[in-house]
């Protein structure tokens, strides 16, 4: 039997996990797979690199997983790196605000929804009447009170207003949650996607748990996948940018690389991001039933790595078991302790966060962002300003995710189209999830079922 050739364009998580899932089920070794990645390295938006000055690996941004990331865990198990996850037993987040007061959201190990109800009941940041309103929201969502037509017409912000959520609940609960999951403010999040995520997150005993890598992103997600794939004969081609997909009579026959080489194939899987997808086609060959993926709008994440010459005392920052802390009332949203001398700070949705100058965080110069970060750390953590600072490094990822508003539903494409042998994976495709690792890997898992 002649083996079929699958070309995968893009070696981010969607491309790599497509190959992993297909090869994992390919008992009869029917498929030859080649992954064409434009960049010299694999990983896409999930990558780490070594910095000589600091003698350490940097991630492009702290990645957090949640207990409901089912396909992600399958992927990590298959490539053999799930032991490199730091998994919370139950959700526990410590918050601190600019007055230095701390608040703990701690879910007990009982069945849902009692686990989250109990946690909110004990959450000391909000008043009793607000707690009742907040628990009411989670209850209403589970009884499907809102129909899709309504949810697709309003933002999460409008839904929360309708559900009488006070400024205080938003500040101490919804805003941190929404920025962390959607990388955008509530006004820019579709109520439909918001409700879907609440259902995923709060439906089980462990679905709301947070999980972080024990190591850098490459060692968890990328290097073990490359080993798994090369052991199974997958041809990995970094530095191979695809210029164009050639299709005729509803069928892709080949792709053209940047050096004009044509590569033939039986099937093609695109794993490129939304801003690159449409460019792969000649205008007249763009699949008729595909939407205008380039109309999705990007949202950025800014990461700030702070290095000290001396250890940050463990008692200075009220960390949870994952070594993280949420900040309230500041531009910085999360602090992670990467080592005793290295803190990593996160500002999600940094295009939407304005400074006194009127500029957004994303537009601001890196030196100003560093100063702001140090000022905010000093406001929240007593004595941190007295520690000797080695240096600060700012990484802006301008197209970290897409903005998950109601418009976004118009531009996310399905896995298959009217070109019979073309499949589309990626965090931006029609998975119903926001742009996350789980969306990228779910899209790949869904495609693997076609093979
Ligand atoms: C700073 C940051 C923090 C994040 N935090 C989280 C988090 O905490 N939790 C979470 O779940 N998600 C998080 N995300 C989102 C997550 O990283 C992405 O959703 C996921 O990595 C997307 O994977 P992908 O494979 O769909 O796309 P990508 O990673 O963008 O991969 C696409 C690949 O295609 C390649 N490519 C593009 N054009 C071509 C071409 N013409 N030819 C060949 N190759 C091409 C690119 O080089 C790239 O390698 C974060 C993202 C960032 C940037």
Q: Atom 7 (ligand 1): residue with closest C-alpha? A: 63
Instruction: Give the pLDDT confidence score for residue 419 in this predicted structure.
Output: 87
pLDDT higher than 70, residue 288: no
Residue with tokens 């001398």: 341
Q: Is 10 in the pocket of ligand 1 (CB under 6 A)?
A: yes
Among residues 179, 115, 140, 231, which one has the least CA distance to residue 347?
179
Give the residue, out of 63, 244, 274, 347, with the most ligand 1 atoms within 8 A of its beta carbon, to mutate for a pocket test. 63
Run of H or E residues at 344: strand 342-348
**Which range (6-15, 266-275, 290-299, 302-311) has the least confidence?**
290-299
Give the residue, out of 17, 20, 46, 259, with the most ligand 1 atoms within 8 A of its beta carbon, to mutate for a pocket test. 46
429-439: average pLDDT? 97
Phi, psi of 292 (to 5 degrees): -80, 80
Q: Are strands 242-248 and 251-257 parallel, antiparallel or unpaired?
A: antiparallel
365-370: average pLDDT? 89
Instruction: Give the pLDDT confidence score for residue 310 in this predicted structure.
Output: 96
Q: Atom 10 (ligand 1): residue with closest C-alpha? A: 436
Centre of ligand 1 from the C-alpha of residue 437, in Å = 8
Distance CA 367, CA 303 (A): 13
Distance CA 12, CA 442 (A): 13
ipTM of the modeled complex: 0.99
Phi, psi of 336 (to 5 degrees): -120, 135
Length of the chain: 451
Residue 28's pLDDT band, with cuts at 50, 70 and 90, is confident
> In terms of C-beta density within 10 A (0-12 exposed, 13-18 middle, 19 or more buried), how is residue 377 classed?
buried
pLDDT higher than 90, residue 287: no
Instruction: Give the pLDDT confidence score for residue 144 in this predicted structure.
Output: 66
User: Would you list the DSSP string of 296-319?
Assistant: S-EEEEEEEEEEESSPPPGGGS--
pLDDT higher than 70, residue 306: yes
Distance CA 296, CA 169 (A): 30
User: Average model confidence (pLDDT) for the chain?
Assistant: 93
Q: Is 105 in the pocket of ligand 1 (CB under 6 A)?
A: no
C-alpha of 254 from chain center: 32
Domains parsed from the chain with CATH numbers: 4-41+223-295+412-448 (3.50.50.60), 89-208 (no CATH), 298-402 (3.90.660.20)
Could you report the per-residue pLDDT of 206-215, keeping only the tens digit for each? 999 999 999 9
% of the chain beyond a pLDDT of 90: 80
Centre of ligand 1 from the C-alpha of residue 18, in Å = 14
Run of H or E residues at 36: strand 31-36
pLDDT higher than 70, residue 114: yes
- Distances from the Cα of 397 to the Cαs of 241, 326, 349, 377, in angstroms? 21, 21, 10, 22
Q: Is 437 in the pocket of ligand 1 (CB under 6 A)?
A: yes
> What sign for the dihedral angle of Cα 201, 336, 125, 360?
negative
Residue 24's pLDDT band, with cuts at 50, 70 and 90, is very high
Residue 324's pLDDT band, with cuts at 50, 70 and 90, is very high
Is 103 strand, coil or helix? strand
Phi, psi of 416 (to 5 degrees): -125, 165
242-267: average pLDDT? 93
Q: Is 9 in the pocket of ligand 1 (CB under 6 A)?
A: yes
Q: Is 419 in the pocket of ligand 1 (CB under 6 A)?
A: no
Q: Is 211 in the pocket of ligand 1 (CB under 6 A)?
A: no
Q: Is 59 in the pocket of ligand 1 (CB under 6 A)?
A: no
pLDDT higher than 90, residue 283: no
> Quick check: 267 and 419 in contact, CB under 8 A?
no
Could you report the per-residue pLDDT of 49-80, keeping only the tens digit for each? 999 988 888 899 999 999 999 999 999 999 99
Among residues 133, 156, 14, which one has the least CA distance to residue 72?
14
pLDDT higher than 90, residue 29: no
Centre of ligand 1 from the C-alpha of residue 369, in Å = 24
% of the chain beyond a pLDDT of 70: 99
pLDDT higher than 70, residue 170: yes
> Quick check: 57 and 216 in contact, CB under 8 A?
yes
Quick count: other Cβ atoms within 10 Å of Cβ 435?
28
């Amino acid at each position: 039997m002649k083996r079929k050739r699958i070309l995968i364009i893009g070696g981010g998580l969607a491309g790599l996990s497509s190959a992993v899932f297909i090869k994992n089920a390919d008992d009869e070794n029917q498929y030859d797979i080649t992954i064409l990645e434009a960049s010299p390295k694999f990983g896409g938006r999930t990558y780490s690199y070594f910095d000589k000055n600091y003698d350490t690996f940097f991630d492009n941004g702290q990645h957090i997983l949640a207990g409901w990331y089912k396909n992600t865990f399958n992927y990590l198990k298959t490539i053999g790196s799930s032991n490199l996850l730091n998994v919370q037993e139950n959700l526990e987040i410590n918050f601190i605000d600019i007055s230095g007061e701390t608040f703990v959201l701690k879910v007990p190990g009982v069945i849902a929804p009692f686990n989250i109800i109990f946690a909110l009941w004990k959450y000391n940041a909000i008043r009793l009447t607000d707690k009742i309103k907040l628990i009411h929201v989670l209850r209403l969502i589970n009884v499907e009170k809102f129909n899709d037509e309504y949810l697709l017409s309003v933002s999460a912000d409008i839904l929360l207003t309708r559900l009488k959520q006070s400024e205080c609940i938003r500040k101490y609960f919804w805003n941190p949650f929404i920025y962390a999951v959607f990388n955008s403010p509530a006004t820019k999040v579709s109520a439909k996607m918001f409700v879907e995520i609440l259902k995923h997150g709060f439906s089980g005993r462990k679905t709301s748990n947070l999980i972080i890598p024990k190591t850098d992103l490459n060692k968890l997600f990328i290097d073990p996948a490359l080993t798994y794939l090369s052991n199974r004969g997958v041809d990995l081609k970094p530095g191979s940018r695809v210029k164009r997909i050639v299709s005729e009579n509803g069928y892709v026959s080949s792709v053209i690389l940047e050096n004009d080489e044509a590569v033939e194939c039986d099937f093609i899987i695109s794993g490129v991001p939304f801003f690159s997808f449409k460019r792969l086609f000649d205008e007249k060959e763009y699949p008729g039933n595909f939407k205008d993926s380039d109309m999705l709008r990007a949202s950025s994440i800014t990461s700030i790595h702070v290095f000290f010459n001396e250890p940050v005392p463990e008692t200075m920052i009220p960390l949870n078991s994952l070594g993280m802390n949420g900040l309230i009332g500041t531009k910085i949203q999360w602090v992670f302790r990467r080592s005793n001398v290295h803190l990593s700070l996160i500002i999600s949705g940094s295009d939407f966060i304005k400074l006194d100058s009127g500029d957004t965080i994303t537009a601001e110069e890196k030196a100003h962002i560093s100063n702001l970060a140090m000022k905010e750390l000093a406001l929240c953590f007593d004595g941190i300003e007295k520690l000797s600072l080695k240096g600060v490094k700012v990484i802006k990822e301008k197209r970290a995710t897409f903005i998950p508003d109601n418009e976004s539903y118009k531009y996310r494409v399905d896995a298959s189209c009217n070109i019979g042998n073309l499949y589309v994976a990626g965090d931006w495709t029609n998975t119903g999830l926001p742009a996350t690792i789980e969306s990228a890997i779910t899209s790949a898992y869904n495609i693997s079922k076609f093979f």
